[in-house]
């Protein structure tokens, strides 16, 4: 392999990591605050993709801008779902069966709504940039993804809401004692997670064709990433996404492409056995030692 | 009086419990006696929803036409009986597909079951027909693994995927013979990780071995269905320095892979994605990026047969849209073959219908060659047509020559 080929692959892996990160971060925020494994994530990603498509087709809005607009819309949808459904679930420090079933059911409902509204035709967003050799769409998707992740970091570190989220992630009872209003924070956090799912779906819609079943392969990868990242760590998600993208992209050079998913799951198993706290815990240990 | 009320209540409940099932059983038997119940199991939701929907339309058009003509003549009933479709959506799920086929065969008393789009769903269903001794005609699964188990009730209206692979290689060989391509060109194969992909690759390899000197296969690798990224695989294809790129993929993977192919700036003398290529969704997703891709397909609406032209008209009237790719045609012919088999058997007895299916010949078939006949293993063996996308959204049949509607453009011009 030439240096140019290697660089091409590295760039592909980095761009893929950005996409992976933005689709996983929403799940992490929701899990961190509410201990809910959001199985409906793929359904909200699908809504984000169709939202971007509708804005593009009806109003000729650039699909990247449309994806960014999906964020606030899906944020409010997520907050509404929390208010109507999730706040009625029993509180727990561990994921519970009712929450898993509820989210799985919600995914099926969203999927079927998708079929009802948009039918089962494969849709895609095609612009003059779509097939350009210098993949401006991938680059734009990457920039949008990284920009949103940075914005989330700023929110989490410099706002009252962000501090509440981090407090709930670290220790729910201590957070409650210090005056964190759990219901409101959880509602906003869930909205934020769904907003990110919508954004990810909108961005992915520029890269892939989609139907109401969209998001399933991404959901599996999101699980791998958040476990790799340490379940509750935003920076861990970014690192997990990078590791998965690098491993998936470069492992193909040494093993057949048909084993790509097996490699991802191998990585998941390895993380669960060797690094149950994820890469974030490893980094924390390194920092402490240093 | 105190004691009679519970008695009356119990009597009412027991009467209802006994009478209701009998009433419904009676209804079912009446329906079965007055109609030919045919089970249809196809995905109209989920990953395979679109081809599944098209296949359903093909079957339902055939049923509508049969019923408009009075139905199917069943000699031992002494009259024509209308077809009653019992439809199930398997949601593109293998387990559901198998259980719905089982339900149709065991509970619905169907004469036969049609459907099973895609190899994976077809494989799941294929274990049921012999268990329940109900003829099953798959309209969308072609992998040889389904037909090589020695099943007695399994039939299929798609030619084997190995034939798709060998027809693809044969077409490329004909381009070499015409001087459009050079001899000894290098092939790179990227195959989906299914029996379909394996059969396709085997077909190309077999043809290449039988015709030495035409092509050298320098790269062959499988990939996972629904993969979000093919950049690594395409990099390996690029590194192989192949002249021709042949992939076997489902529609979504074809779109994702070819988008990344175009973005990578790669160019090959010829490119194919197996049976995918002319779909309108692909053109919507990639514009003129799909120009010059060729595909081996089981059927084309451009076939120059009068029955195909009539089918195109009828289908458009029935659905409001033109046939997209081959999907509805194999399903339409499957229902017509079943009709011919029932009429030949003169009975709704499933074993007699199975025996009739083995010998039935549909002489006005829509498929290439115009004759549909099931082989000894239950699968048909009609030839494939090779189509090529042309600029402006045109799709021409380019092989075989006697069905061609246009010339092959080979090698693909560089943009």
Render pLDDT for B376-393 as a digit per residue (tens, 0 to 9): 999 998 889 999 999 998
Q: B310 or B2: which carries more pLDDT confidence?
A: B310
CA–CA separation, B172 and B276 (whole Å): 17
Q: Do A9 and B262 touch (CB under 8 A)?
A: no
CA–CA separation, B351 and B346 (whole Å): 12
Q: What is the pLDDT of residue B14?
A: 57
Within 13 Å and on the Cβ side, how many CA atoms surround B172?
35
Q: Nearest-CA neighbor of B255 among B209, B208, B289?
A: B289
CA–CA separation, B69 and B76 (whole Å): 19
CA–CA separation, A215 and A44 (whole Å): 9
Across the beta sheet with B270-272, the strand order is B215-223, B185-192, B244-248, B270-272, B294-297, B385-390, B394-399
The C-alpha angle with vertex A140 and arms to A137 and A143, in degrees rounded to 5, equals 150
DSSP 3-state of A12: helix
Contacts of A131 in chain B (CB under 8 A): 259, 262-263, 286-287, 289
CA–CA separation, A257 and A250 (whole Å): 10
Q: Do B259 and A221 touch (CB under 8 A)?
A: no
Average pLDDT over residues B306-315: 95
DSSP 3-state of A130: coil
The structure tokens 């849209």 sit at B321
Beta strands in A214-283 (DSSP E): none
The structure tokens 């009478």 sit at B19
A216 in reach of chain B (CB within 8 A): yes
Contacts of A261 in chain B (CB under 8 A): 224, 227
Q: Nearest-CA neighbor of A29 among A178, A199, A283?
A: A199
Question: What are the tens digits of pLDDT across the range B145-161?
Answer: 899 889 999 999 999 88
Same fold, B35-159+303-373 and B162-297+385-403: yes
Q: A233 or B330: which carries more pLDDT confidence?
A: B330
Chain B residue closest to A7 (CA)?
B235
As a CATH number, domain B162-297+385-403 is 3.40.50.2300
This complex has an ipTM of 0.74
Q: B200 or B15: which carries more pLDDT confidence?
A: B200
Q: Which helix (H) or strand (E) holds B74?
A: strand B72-74
Q: What are phi and psi of B221, to 5 degrees?
A: -145, 150
Q: Do A211 and B238 touch (CB under 8 A)?
A: no
CA–CA separation, A220 and A226 (whole Å): 10
**A95 burial type by CB count under 10 A (0-12 exposed, 13-18 middle, 19+ buried):** middle
Q: How many Cβ atoms are within 10 Å of B213's Cβ, its own excluded?
A: 9
Domains by residue range for chain A, with CATH? 3-120+128-289 (1.10.3470)
CA distances from B94 to A114, B148, B310 (A): 22, 20, 35
Angle between helices B327-345 and B306-319 (to 10 degrees): 110
Q: Nearest-CA neighbor of B170 among B206, B131, B120?
A: B206
CA distances from A101 to A89, B93, B94 (A): 11, 19, 22
CA–CA separation, A12 and B234 (whole Å): 11
Chain B residue closest to A4 (CA)?
B235
CA–CA separation, B122 and B24 (whole Å): 32
Question: What are the tens digits of pLDDT across the range B202-252?
Answer: 999 999 999 999 999 999 999 888 777 788 888 889 889 999 999 999 888
What is the band of B26 on the pLDDT scale with cuts at 50, 70, 90?
A: very low
Contacts of A9 in chain B (CB under 8 A): 231-232, 235
The pLDDT > 90 percentage for chain B reads 64
CA–CA separation, B102 and A160 (whole Å): 58
Show the low-confidence residues of chain A (pLDDT under 70): 1, 132-135, 231-232, 280
Mutating which of B55, B231, B241, B414 best tests the A interface, going by the most A Cβ atoms within 10 A?
Answer: B231
Q: Which helix (H) or strand (E) holds B40?
A: strand B36-42
CA–CA separation, B332 and B298 (whole Å): 13
Strand B36-42, strand B83-89: pairing = parallel
CA–CA separation, B244 and B227 (whole Å): 22
* Angstroms from B145 CA to nearest CA on chain A: 20
> Any residues with CB less than 8 A from the CB of B23 and at least 6 apart, and which?
none
Query: How is chain B split into domains, by residue range?
Result: 1-29, 35-159+303-373, 162-297+385-403
Among the partner-chain residues B233, B238, B285, the one whose CB lies closest to the CB of A209 is B285
Q: Which helix (H) or strand (E) holds A71?
A: helix A63-84
* Angstroms from A51 CA to nearest CA on chain B: 17
Peptide bond into B411 cis (omega under 30): yes
Question: Which ranges of B178-250 would DSSP assign to H, the alpha helix?
Answer: 195-210, 231-239
Strand B294-297, strand B385-390: pairing = antiparallel
What is the band of B409 on the pLDDT scale with cuts at 50, 70, 90?
A: very high
Q: Are B384 and B296 in contact (CB under 8 A)?
A: yes
**A185 burial type by CB count under 10 A (0-12 exposed, 13-18 middle, 19+ buried):** buried
Mutating which of B195, B235, B283, B287 best tests the A interface, going by the most A Cβ atoms within 10 A?
Answer: B235
Residue pairs spanning A and B at CB distance below 8 A: 126
A138 in reach of chain B (CB within 8 A): yes
CA–CA separation, B272 and A32 (whole Å): 46
Of B76-85, B259-268, B289-298, B307-316, the least confident: B259-268
- Take residue B200 and report the two structure tokens written for it: 């396709």
How far is residue B146 CA from its own chain's centroid? Answer: 13
CATH superfamily, with its number, for domain B35-159+303-373:
Response regulator (3.40.50.2300)
Mutating which of A5, A124, A216, A263 best tests the B interface, going by the most B Cβ atoms within 10 A?
Answer: A124
- Which residues are bridge partners to B115 per DSSP? B41, B138
Question: What are the tens digits of pLDDT across the range B171-189?
Answer: 999 999 999 999 999 999 9
The C-alpha angle with vertex B110 and arms to B107 and B115, in degrees rounded to 5, equals 105
DSSP 3-state of B190: strand
DSSP 3-state of B303: coil
Q: What are phi and psi of B305, to 5 degrees?
A: -105, 140
> Any residues with CB less than 8 A from the CB of B367 and at least 6 apart, and which?
B157, B298, B299, B329, B330, B333, B380, B382
What is the band of B330 on the pLDDT scale with cuts at 50, 70, 90?
A: very high
Which DSSP letter does residue B415 get?
A: -
Q: Do B228 and A1 touch (CB under 8 A)?
A: no
Q: A239 or B334: which carries more pLDDT confidence?
A: B334
> Any residues with CB less than 8 A from the CB of B48 and at least 6 apart, and which?
B92, B117, B118, B121, B250
**Does B3 score more than 60 pLDDT?**
no
Which DSSP letter does residue B152 get?
A: S
Which DSSP letter does residue A257 get?
A: G
Q: Are B195 and B369 in contact (CB under 8 A)?
A: no
């Amino acid at each position: 392999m030439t240096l140019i080929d290697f660089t091409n692959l590295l760039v592909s892996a980095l761009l893929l990591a950005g996409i992976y990160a933005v689709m996983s971060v929403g799940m992490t925020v929701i899990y961190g605050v509410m201990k809910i494994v959001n199985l409906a994530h793929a359904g909200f990603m699908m809504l984000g993709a169709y939202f971007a498509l509708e804005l593009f087709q009806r109003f000729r809005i650039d699909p990247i801008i449309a994806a960014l607009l999906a964020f606030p819309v899906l944020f409010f949808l997520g907050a509404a779902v929390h208010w109507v459904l999730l706040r009625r679930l029993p509180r727990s420090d561990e994921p519970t069966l009712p929450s898993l079933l509820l989210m799985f059911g919600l995914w099926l409902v969203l999927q079927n709504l998708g079929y009802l509204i948009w039918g089962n035709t494969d849709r895609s967003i095609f612009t003059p940039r779509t097939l350009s050799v210098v993949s401006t769409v991938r680059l734009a998707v990457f920039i949008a993804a990284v920009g949103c992740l940075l914005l989330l970091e700023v929110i989490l570190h410099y706002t009252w809401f962000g501090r509440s989220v981090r407090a709930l992630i670290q220790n729910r009872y201590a957070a409650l004692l210090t005056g964190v209003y759990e219901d409101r924070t959880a509602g906003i956090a869930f909205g934020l997670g769904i907003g990110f799912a919508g954004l990810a779906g909108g961005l992915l819609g520029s890269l892939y064709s989609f139907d109401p079943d969209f998001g399933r392969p991404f959901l599996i990868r999101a699980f791998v990433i958040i476990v790799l990242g340490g379940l509750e760590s935003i920076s861990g998600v970014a690192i997990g996404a990078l590791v998965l993208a690098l491993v998936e992209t470069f492992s193909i050079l040494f093993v057949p492409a048909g084993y790509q998913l097996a490699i991802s799951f191998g990585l998941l198993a390895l993380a669960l056995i060797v690094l149950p706290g994820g890469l974030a815990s490893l980094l924390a240990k390194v920092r402490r030692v240093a | 009086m105190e004691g009679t009320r519970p008695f009356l209540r119990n009597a009412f409940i027991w009467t209802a419990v006994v009478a209701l099932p009998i009433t419904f059983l009676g209804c079912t038997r009446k329906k079965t006696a007055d109609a030919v119940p045919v089970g249809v199991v196809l995905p109209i939701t989920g990953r395979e929803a679109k081809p599944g929907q098209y296949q359903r339309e093909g079957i339902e058009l055939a049923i509508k036409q049969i019923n408009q003509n009075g139905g199917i003549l069943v000699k031992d009933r002494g009259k024509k009986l209308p077809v009653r479709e019992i439809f199930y959506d398997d949601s593109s799920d293998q387990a559901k597909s198998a259980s719905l086929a089982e339900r149709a065969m065991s509970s619905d008393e169907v004469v036969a079951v049609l459907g099973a789009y895609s190899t994976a769903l077809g494989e799941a269903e294929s274990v049921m027909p012999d268990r329940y001794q109900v003829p099953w005609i798959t309209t969308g699964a072609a992998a040889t693994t389904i037909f090589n188990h020695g099943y007695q009730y399994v039939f299929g209206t798609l030619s084997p995927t190995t034939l798709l692979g060998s027809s693809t290689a044969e077409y490329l060989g004909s381009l070499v013979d015409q001087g459009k391509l050079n001899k000894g060109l290098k092939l790179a194969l990227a195959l989906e990780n299914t029996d379909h992909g394996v059969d396709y690759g085997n077909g190309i390899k077999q043809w290449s071995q039988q015709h030495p000197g035409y092509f050298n296969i320098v790269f062959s690798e499988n990939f996972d269905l629904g993969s979000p990224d093919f950049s690594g695989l395409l990099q390996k294809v690029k590194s192989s320095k192949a002249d021709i790129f042949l992939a076997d993929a489902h529609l979504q993977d074809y779109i994702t892979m070819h988008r990344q192919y175009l973005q990578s700036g790669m160019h090959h003398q010829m490119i194919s994605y197996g049976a995918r290529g002319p779909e309108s969704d692909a053109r919507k997703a990639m514009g003129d990026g799909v120009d010059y891709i060729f595909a081996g397909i089981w059927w084309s609406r451009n076939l120059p047969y009068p029955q195909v032209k009539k089918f195109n008209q009828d289908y458009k009237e029935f659905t409001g849209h033109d046939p997209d790719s081959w999907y509805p045609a194999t399903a339409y012919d499957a229902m017509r073959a079943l009709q011919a088999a029932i009429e030949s058997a003169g009975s709704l007895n499933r074993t007699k219908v199975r025996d009739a299916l083995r010998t039935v010949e549909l002489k006005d078939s829509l498929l290439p060659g115009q004759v549909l006949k099931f082989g000894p293993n239950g699968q048909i063996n009609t030839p494939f047509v090779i189509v090529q996308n042309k600029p402006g959204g045109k799709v021409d049949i380019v092989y075989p020559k006697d069905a061609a509607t246009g010339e092959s453009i080979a090698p693909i011009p560089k943009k």
